[in-house]
Structure 1
Amino acid sequence: MGHSVTGTPDCAGTRPRRVVLYSHDTFGLGHLRRSRALASALTESRTVGSAIILTGSPVAGRFTFPDTVDHVRLPGVKKLADGSYVSQNSGMDIEATTALRAGLIESTVTQYEPDLLIVDKEPTGFRGELLPTLEQLSRKGHTRIVLGLRDVLDEAEVLATEWARKGAIEATEAFYDELWVYGMRSVYDPTEGLPLSPSARGRTVWTGYLRRSIIDPADVPDTPYILVTPGGGGDGEAMVDLVLKAYETDPDLAPHAVLVYGPFLSGDTRDAFEARVAALNGRVTATGFDSRIESLFAGAQGVICMGGYNTFCELLSFDQRAVIVPRTKPRLEQWIRANRAEELGLVRNLDQFRDGLTPEAMIAAIRGLPHQKRPSEAGANGLLDGLDVVNQRARLLMDQSLSNAAE
């Protein structure tokens, strides 16, 4: 983590400011990719001189990070079908793994002494692992602490029950200086069903969506293509199957598709898809995982995707016509986002409850892509100020800490 950096100095003028971003990452790529976008923006703007991302993602090492951003890999966990968690390290039970993660988090924060801690989505961390660190930082009083929430979390009643079980309301009230919602209140309010105090609601900032750019350029096909991406891919089997069925059913369906499975769609499922792709004789080409997927977004004629937060930000940022096929389990987050985005004219939502997920529905959706409005035609440009607002709020919070220390 020994990057030499420049940035805004702290109160003593002895070092640039520092930020830690915590991302529990028990599933998928979303939390890590959001944290990377935030860390990159905060360091590139010189709001801070350096950043460390604490992440449980098993694929963190496959991403490119700016020189001023490093990451600490927390021991991995995985979620079982019944909702329980187990350690990815078969030699440790979940309690021992959580204790190890908590110790690594606390040690990193103690040694690094960040001026700002941004916590992604989980106010107490995975199984409460963040609480010792939050209590320590609260006692010391130097580090500003922010809870970052995506635009949609889940149905209001489901979320309220989950937060009550985890003690998340109490932690939010006690430890967090601000709550940043990475979306627009006019689109959706993820906190609506939560019993937050007026004080906590007064500390809530709607930043807007987080604009994405091409961090690490990559070659893209010379011929027209649509991009098909299930994000991390761990829950993308049904969507990929539907797209392949569309191309199998309609031999004239065009343009050809570039399919990015994601790192978590693998094994026998992936092998079976590969055989079907090969039989389509180049009308669909596939790759396992592309950490530089931004270039593919930018060059596509349109996008078929699931409804995750990061994918949605990319659709808006690269002004892509899109058909979203949202998952509806284990939570309705993606369906809520896709449904609301369709109401605003930003995307086409292929809704299983309304349209049915048939090859014919997908064929019609792909054929309809060129006739859809681009998000910019529906006013999307006004939704993408999130990174600018994050930089502004981060500076204000750290300056407050500076003035408080000087008093």
Structure 2
Amino acid sequence: MRVLIYSHDSFGLGHLRRCRRIAHALVGARKDLTALIISGSPIIGSFDFRARVDFVRVPGVVKLRNGNYTPLNLLIDIEQTLELRASIIQHTAMAFAPDVFIVDKEPLGLGGEVERALRRLKRRGTRLILGLREVMDSPERLRAEWARKRVMPALESLYDEIWIYGPDGFHDPLEGLDVPAAVREKLVFTGFQRTHAPSERVGPSEPPTAEPYVLITPGGGGDGADLIDWVLSAYEADPAIPLAPVFLLGPFMAAEDREGFGARVQALGRGVTLEFEAAPEYLIAGARAVVCMGGYNTFCEVLSFDKPALMVPRTEPREEQRVRAERAAALGLADLRVPEDDRGPETMARALRGLAWRRPPSAVLPDGWLDGLDILCRRVAGEPDGDMAAADLTTPVADQPVSEALAASPAVVGRGGP
């Protein structure tokens, strides 16, 4: 069986990490299954992949804060870049001839770049699946975006199934939209995706600090400087906060911000800053608590490793993180600080102190909410092969210098203390 996966890649790491996790789960469930990921992520080569999983990298693009896109490296305009990407995607799809094509997040791809491949594969009888986060955006923003892109007709005519990567009781990403009955019938709520720390590790394996620690992670880091600054300011104002800070800055954080935060942590004399970790499960598993922005993957990891969490969501360019964080807080799964809160260091210091005593998510997490990978594997591959049902779905990660791929695994930027 062949599965092709399109990874929407315009900002951060979330889409790639989710698609990689799905691919690993699928090949772990069936011996004769192979998966190919299409992505424009500039750091996809920094990740290791299981046997029978590979990737095709298309020219990268980046989403600006105003919502527009621009080529990541090529000196051509965005229209030419999208046409080039669409051509590579179409030729890859025809040559690979997948039995199943899973499209992540963008129903027609960035700028419609997947539509031609979808229509040709539809004529071939390929099973077409759209995968959506359990939170996409506010209903108002998503309604306007999908109307502009003419998404609903595509959902009705092209896709066989629409997977929602969350449980039915958490959030409906299409709530507030006028969804035709024919589209509603295609929805499958899979549940959140349980994650595990890889069974083997390539590279440094010692804990980042000898003290019990709280992990502060803004995901890819491109818009995470405000969060890091706020938490670091809290430690500067209250150095006796019970848990030591470990800052995972992300490969897309601006170099000047990384250097500044590293210097401040060194001056603090406590904690450590890491630039990138391709397998953050190690750091989350070892942490006593987590501070995050509320992206999908980190939230799944918080639930999987059962860590008390403080979510500090962004609201631009999407309200996804805020909607998820507010819902999680309402269910008692995490604490919440929103941009309108008092941004003083004392406010964050109180929240960090509270994390040391907060109950874990398992105290209120309903049964089955972390079965997402099991459910989607059964829908694609059937019941797992007998000797693969308990397979480790992750792999070790090799080190790679940041200068070569915008990433390291891990790269220490600054460390407090001796």
TM-score by length of 2: 0.88
In 1, Cα distance between the equivalents of 2:268 and 2:57? 39
In 2, Cα distance between the equivalents of 1:129 and 1:396? 30
Question: Could you say which residue in structure 1 is the equivalent of 2:215?
Answer: 227
The question of 1:58 aligning with 2:42 is answered: yes
| Residue of 162, 170, 195 corresponding to 1:212 | 195
The question of 1:105 aligning with 2:89 is answered: yes
In 1, Cα distance between the equivalents of 2:86 and 2:358? 47
Question: Could you say which residue in structure 2 is the equivalent of 1:346?
Answer: 333
Per-residue CA deviation, residues 328-372 of structure 1 (Å, 9 max, x unaligned), is: 11111101100100111100011233x322211110111111221
The question of 1:170 aligning with 2:137 is answered: no
In 2, Cα distance between the equivalents of 1:119 and 1:160? 20
Question: Could you say which residue in structure 2 is the equivalent of 1:128?
Answer: 112
Deviates more, 1:175-184 or 1:365-374: 365-374
Question: Could you say which residue in structure 2 is the equivalent of 1:269?
Answer: 257
| Shift of residue 381, structure 1, vs aligned partner | 4.6
Q: What SS class does the counterpart of residue 297 from structure 1 fall into?
A: helix
Question: Could you say which residue in structure 2 is the equivalent of 1:329?
Answer: 316
Per-residue CA deviation, residues 129-185 of structure 1 (Å, 9 max, x unaligned), is: 0011011011111x1010000110001111011001112111111110000000022
Change (3 A) 1:333 1:48: farther
Question: Could you say which residue in structure 2 is the equivalent of 1:145?
Answer: 128
| RMSD (Å), alpha carbons | 1.5
The question of 1:246 aligning with 2:229 is answered: no
Q: What SS class does the counterpart of residue 368 from structure 2 fall into?
A: helix
> Is this contact kept in 2: 1:305–1:324, CA < 8 A?
yes
Q: What SS class does the counterpart of residue 227 from structure 1 fall into?
A: strand
Query: 1:367 is aligned with what amino acid?
Result: R
In 2, Cα distance between the equivalents of 1:219 and 1:324? 27
TM-score by length of 1: 0.90
In 2, Cα distance between the equivalents of 1:191 and 1:47? 35
The question of 1:260 aligning with 2:213 is answered: no
Percent of aligned positions with the same letter in both sequences?
48
In 1, Cα distance between the equivalents of 2:172 and 2:10? 24
Deviates more, 1:188-197 or 1:325-334: 188-197
Which 4+ stretches in 1 moved above 6 angstroms? none
The question of 1:386 aligning with 2:369 is answered: no
> Is this contact kept in 1: 2:37–2:56, CA < 8 A?
yes
Query: 1:101 is aligned with what amino acid?
Result: R
| Shift of residue 213, structure 1, vs aligned partner | 0.9
Query: 1:86 is aligned with what amino acid?
Result: T
In 1, Cα distance between the equivalents of 2:43 and 2:347? 34
In 1, Cα distance between the equivalents of 2:102 and 2:8? 12
| Shift of residue 219, structure 1, vs aligned partner | 3.5
> Is this contact kept in 2: 1:213–1:294, CA < 8 A?
yes
Q: Structure 2: where are the runs of 5+ without partners?
A: 384-418
Change (3 A) 1:286 1:152: same
| Shift of residue 193, structure 1, vs aligned partner | 2.4
